[in-house]
Structure 1
Amino acid sequence: MGILVLLLAAAWATHHATVALDADAEAASRLKVVWISLFLVFLLQTFMYHLERTPRLTDRVARQLSALHVSVLMPVYNEDPGYLKLGLESFLRQTRLPNSVHIVDDGSTSGDYADVKAWWEREARHAGIATTWRRVPNGGKRHAQAHGVRVSPEADIYITCDSDSCFAPQAIEQVLLPFARPRVQSVAGIVIATNNRANWLVRVTDLWFVVCQLVDRSGQSAVGAVMVNSGPLAAYRANVIRDNLDSYLNETFMGRTVMFSDDSLLTLYAQQRGLTVQQPQAICFTAMPEKWSHFTRMYLRWMRGSTIRSVWRMRYLSPARPAYWLHAVRWLQMVLTQMVVLWLLVVEPVAYGKMPPNSMLIIPFLIGYAQGLRYLGIIRSDERIRSRALTWLTMPLAIVLAWTVLRFLRWYGIFTCARTGWGTRQNGAEVTLDGGSPSSPAPQPAPPQYVPTYDPWNDPWNESPLAAQGEEPK
C-alpha cells in the first residue's frame, strides 16, 4: 500500500513539474538540476528502505546465539523511579534473559533508588541474572557505561539502554539475531514512546521518530550502513566497545569534552569494523518529552552531536564503505532542500514575482502520509488501532514542524555544535511514569510486533496491560 501511494505521488509530482517547465522556459533552466537530484535521492531512499529484511531464527542460529554472554549496560542519572523499575522489570520478562545487567547510578541528585535497588537485586537473583549496582561520582553517561564494561570482561555482546527504556518481551532475542552474521558489528532496535498518549507533542514526536527509523534507517540497514543507533536499545559486539573505550571516554571537539552523541560514536566504531544494521522486530519503549522546552533541548543536543559526528565520518570512514556515501548523500539532500525552500519562498516571489504553485505545497504532505504508513506497521496491544490512526493523521503537523521550527533548530545546532554539554535532567526527571500527564493515564507497555499478521491473542503478555486499563479484547 505504501509503495502504491508513493508511486502515485511521485508520478503526480513528475507530471506537474513537466507541465510547469513546459509552460515557463525560464523556470526550466533555473532549478532543473536541483529538481532532478532531489527526485533521484527520493527514489533511491524509497527503494532502499523496502529492501530491509529481518533474519530468521533457525535452530542452528538459536544454539549459536544462546552461547553468547549478553550484558546489559544501564546508566542512571536523576531518573524517575517508576520508569526505572518498569525498565528493570522488562528484563525479567524477556524470552531470552540477559546473562548479566549492570546498573550504574551516575551520582544522581534526586535520590538513591534504595527501594528499587533492593527489589531488583532480589528479583534478578531469583531469575538467575548476574547483576551489579554501583553508585559513582557524576562523570557522564559514557563513564557510567564504562564502569559496567570493566566489571563484565566475559561479555560477548553489550546491550546499551537508557534508564527509562522498557524492552518488549522479545527485544533481546530479536536484537541478537543479526549477530548470526559474523560481519555484523552492531544492531539498532526500534524505539517507540511509552507515553505516546500523554499529549499531542508526544504523539507527533512518536510519529516522526518511528517513521525516521523505518524509512531513513531501514534504508541504511539494507546495505549494512546504519549511521546512528538509538540509545534506548542497541547491541554491539563486545570488542567494538572494549577496544575503543579510551577514545570513547576522552572524545573532544574544538578543545571541549563531548558529553553527548555517545550512540552515534559507538556506531561509528562498529562501522569501521563491519556492518551496522537495524532489527525492526526488536522493540523498546522510551519516555518522550512532554514539554516543548524539554523537546527543544533534546533536539538541539541531537543536532549538535550529528554535526560533530559528520566531521568524524568524513575523516575516519573509508570511501569504500556505503556509510560514507550515504552520509554524503544526506548532506547533499539537506543542502538541496534548503535551496529549494529559499528559492520558492524568497527568490521566485522577490526576483521574478512568482509565488510557488499550490500543488507543489501539497506534494510533501502526500509523501509524508505515504511514508507514515510505516508507523501503522507497529501494532501495540496497549493501544487501539483507531488511536494509532489518529496519530498518523497528524502527519501534516509533523511536516510543518519539520519545515519550520526543526529546520531552524537544525541550523542553530550546527552553528553552535561547540556547546557540548548534556542539557537535560540537571534538576531531576522531566517525565514521570505515575501521574505524568493528567490528560491520559501512563500506558503499560505491551509487546508490539513489526509484522502485518500480528495476532494479539497469541501474545503471552497481552492480558496484563489490557486488563489493567479495563480493555479486555472482545
Structure 2
Amino acid sequence: MKKQKVIIYSVFIVFLLLIVLLNMKSSTQHQMISVYGGIMLAYLMFKMVLAFNYKHVEKDFDTDKKVSVLVPVYNEKTELLMETITTIMQQTYPIHSIYVFDDGSSDTSAIEAVEAYKLTLGSEAEKIHIYKSPVNVGKRMGQIYGIKRSEADFFVTVDSDCFLHNNAIEELMKPFNDPTVYAVSGHVIARNRKVNLLTTLIDMRYENAFRVERAAQSVTGNILVCSGPLSAYRREVLVDNLEKYESQMFLGAPVQYGDDRCLTNYAIQYGKTVYQSTAICETDVPESLSKFLKQQVRWNKSFFRESIIGLKIGFKKPFVLFWIILELGLWLTFSIALILGVYYQVTNFAWTLIFYTICMSCLTAYSRNVFYIIRQPFLFLLAPLYGIIHMTCLLPIRIYALFTLRDKKWGTR
C-alpha cells in the first residue's frame, strides 16, 4: 500500500509541475486562458490534497438494524437482473427485504426469472417482494413503492444491472456509526470496461469521479451525489421527503430523472453525506457513443437542476456552496475561455493556443486520473482521450442540456 501511494504521489507531482510550467509559458501569450489555467491548477491541487487525505471507515456497524434494498426494473436483461438479485441475497450484511419493482416492462422475462428464483429460496423467499406495474410510471415510483411498504431503518438504492461485491452493503453501512451521517455512496466500477475503448475511458472517468471527486468532497462531509448504482440513506431522509420526491416539479414540468442527486440534496439538509471506497459494485456503462451522449444529456440536466436547488441549501452548508460554485464556475470559465480563445485564434491565427489547450487537457487528465495507474498502468496512458471527448462532445451536450431542462424524456431506454 505504501509503495502504491509513493507511485501515485510521484506521478501527480510530475504532472503538476508540468502544468505549472505550461501555465507560466501561456501567461505571456493569452491572459484569458492563463486565468483559467491558474484557477484550474489551484482547484486541482486543493481537490487532490483532500483526496489523498481521504480514509474509509473501518469500524463495523450494528447488524441489528434493518436494511431494505430498492431495485426498480425496466426492460432489463435477464442475466443482469438475476446477478443483481443474487448478489444482494449473498451479502455478508443481513438484508431485511428487497423490493423489486417492474416498471411496466414490455419484456417480462427478467422479472419472471426473479419470480422463479424466489421459489427456490425456501424461508428466505419472504425477503423478496415483487410488484409488476401494468404501465410505465418511472424509476422514482419504483423506489417509492418499496419505501412506503418497508419498516427498514436504512434504504439501499441499486440499479437493476449491478453486481455487488459480497461485502458491499456491510462496508456501505460502516459510516453510519457516525450519527451525523445521513447518506453514503459506494464505489462504482464499469463491469464491461474491456468491451471497447469507450467503456475503458468511462471506467477511467468513474475512477476519477470516485477516488478523487467524491473522496475530496467526503473529507469535507458533503459529497454532492450519492451514486445511483449503490448508495444508502437513513430512513427519515426518504420517508420525510417522500411526498416532495414523488411530485417534484422544475420549471413547471414533472421531474423523471436525477433521483440520486435529488436524494442526496435531501440528505445534505440533515447532516453529512459521505463516500465509502470499500463498498464496491460493478455496473454496465454505455457501449456506443450515441447511448453515452444520451446518458450525459440526462445527467447534465439533473446537474443543473439540482445545483440550482443545492445553492439554496448551500447558504446553511458552506462546503456544499463551495463545491457547487466551483463546479458551475469552472465550467462557465472554461466555456468563456474556449469561446474567446477560438475567436482569438480565428482573428489572429494564434495557433499556439490550440497547442496550449491540448497540452493542458492532457496534463490535467493525467493528474486527475493518477489512481488509475495502479489498476491499469498501460491504459492510464489513454487518460487524455476522455478530455478530448469532453471538449468535442460533452461541452456542447452540457449547453444543450441547459437549454432543454424542461424536457423530461429519459433518453437511454
Q: TM-score, normalised by structure 2?
A: 0.92
Alignment pair present for 1:399 and 2:397: no
Identity of matched residues, %: 27
Partner of 1:414: 402
Partner of 1:97: 94
Note if contact 2:138-2:256 (Cα within 8 Å) is conserved in structure 1: yes
Alignment pair present for 1:138 and 2:136: yes
The secondary structure found in structure 2 opposite 1:393 is: helix
Alignment pair present for 1:11 and 2:17: yes
- Name which of 112, 118, 122 aligns with 1:121: 118
Alignment pair present for 1:184 and 2:172: no
The secondary structure found in structure 2 opposite 1:404 is: helix
The secondary structure found in structure 2 opposite 1:5 is: helix
- CA deviations over 1:42-70 (Å, ceiling 9, x no partner): 2111112112110112xxx44xx211101
Partner of 1:381: none
**Alignment partners' CA distance in 2, 1:35 and 1:289:** 31
**Alignment partners' CA distance in 2, 1:30 and 1:215:** 27
Note if contact 2:183-2:233 (Cα within 8 Å) is conserved in structure 1: yes
Alignment pair present for 1:2 and 2:4: no
**Alignment partners' CA distance in 2, 1:133 and 1:261:** 24
Partner of 2:196: 199
- Name which of 79, 82, 85 aligns with 1:85: 82
Note if contact 1:345-1:355 (Cα within 8 Å) is conserved in structure 2: no
The secondary structure found in structure 1 opposite 2:106 is: coil
Note if contact 2:32-2:337 (Cα within 8 Å) is conserved in structure 1: no
Note if contact 1:2-1:370 (Cα within 8 Å) is conserved in structure 2: no
The secondary structure found in structure 1 opposite 2:371 is: helix
Letter in 1 for 2:195: A
**Structure 1 residue 134: Cα displacement:** 0.9
**Alignment partners' CA distance in 2, 1:299 and 1:114:** 28
Alignment pair present for 1:174 and 2:180: no
- CA deviations over 1:419-459 (Å, ceiling 9, x no partner): 1221232xxxxxxxxxxxxxxxxxxxxxxxxxxxxxxxxxx
- CA deviations over 1:340-395 (Å, ceiling 9, x no partner): 333444325524746327466324313322332323555xxxxxxxxx44433321
Note if contact 1:99-1:129 (Cα within 8 Å) is conserved in structure 2: no
Alignment pair present for 1:298 and 2:295: yes
Partner of 2:149: 151
Structure 1 residues 207 and 103: CA distance shift in structure 2, 3 A: same
Partner of 1:210: 207
The secondary structure found in structure 2 opposite 1:403 is: helix
Note if contact 1:91-1:97 (Cα within 8 Å) is conserved in structure 2: no
**Structure 1 residue 118: Cα displacement:** 3.0
Letter in 1 for 2:218: S
Letter in 2 for 1:103: V
Structure 1 residues 377 and 420: CA distance shift in structure 2, 3 A: farther
The secondary structure found in structure 1 opposite 2:119 is: helix
- Name which of 38, 41, 50 aligns with 1:39: 41
**Structure 1 residue 235: Cα displacement:** 0.4
Letter in 2 for 1:327: I
**Alignment partners' CA distance in 2, 1:79 and 1:350:** 52
Partner of 1:470: none
Alignment pair present for 1:165 and 2:167: no
Alignment pair present for 1:240 and 2:237: yes
Structure 1 residues 123 and 347: CA distance shift in structure 2, 3 A: farther
**Structure 1 residue 165: Cα displacement:** 1.3
Partner of 1:274: 271
Note if contact 1:164-1:286 (Cα within 8 Å) is conserved in structure 2: yes
Number of matched residues?
406
- Name which of 325, 330, 338 aligns with 1:328: 325
Letter in 2 for 1:184: V
Structure 1 residues 124 and 73: CA distance shift in structure 2, 3 A: farther
The secondary structure found in structure 2 opposite 1:328 is: helix
Note if contact 2:258-2:299 (Cα within 8 Å) is conserved in structure 1: yes
The secondary structure found in structure 2 opposite 1:160 is: strand
Structure 1 residues 70 and 414: CA distance shift in structure 2, 3 A: same
**Alignment partners' CA distance in 1, 2:380 and 2:313:** 39
**Structure 1 residue 122: Cα displacement:** 3.1
Structure 1 residues 359 and 111: CA distance shift in structure 2, 3 A: same
Residue segments in structure 2 that go unaligned for 5+ positions in a row: 1-6
Greater CA drift, 326-335 or 170-179: 326-335
Structure 1 residues 78 and 356: CA distance shift in structure 2, 3 A: same
The secondary structure found in structure 1 opposite 2:290 is: helix
- CA deviations over 1:327-350 (Å, ceiling 9, x no partner): 111111112222333344432552
**Alignment partners' CA distance in 1, 2:31 and 2:127:** 67
- Name which of 28, 45, 51 aligns with 2:53: 51
The secondary structure found in structure 2 opposite 1:283 is: strand
Note if contact 2:33-2:341 (Cα within 8 Å) is conserved in structure 1: no
Structure 1 residues 375 and 12: CA distance shift in structure 2, 3 A: closer
- Aligned-pair RMSD on alpha carbons? 2.2
Alignment of 1:245-256 (within 5 A): 245-256=242-253
Note if contact 2:82-2:110 (Cα within 8 Å) is conserved in structure 1: no
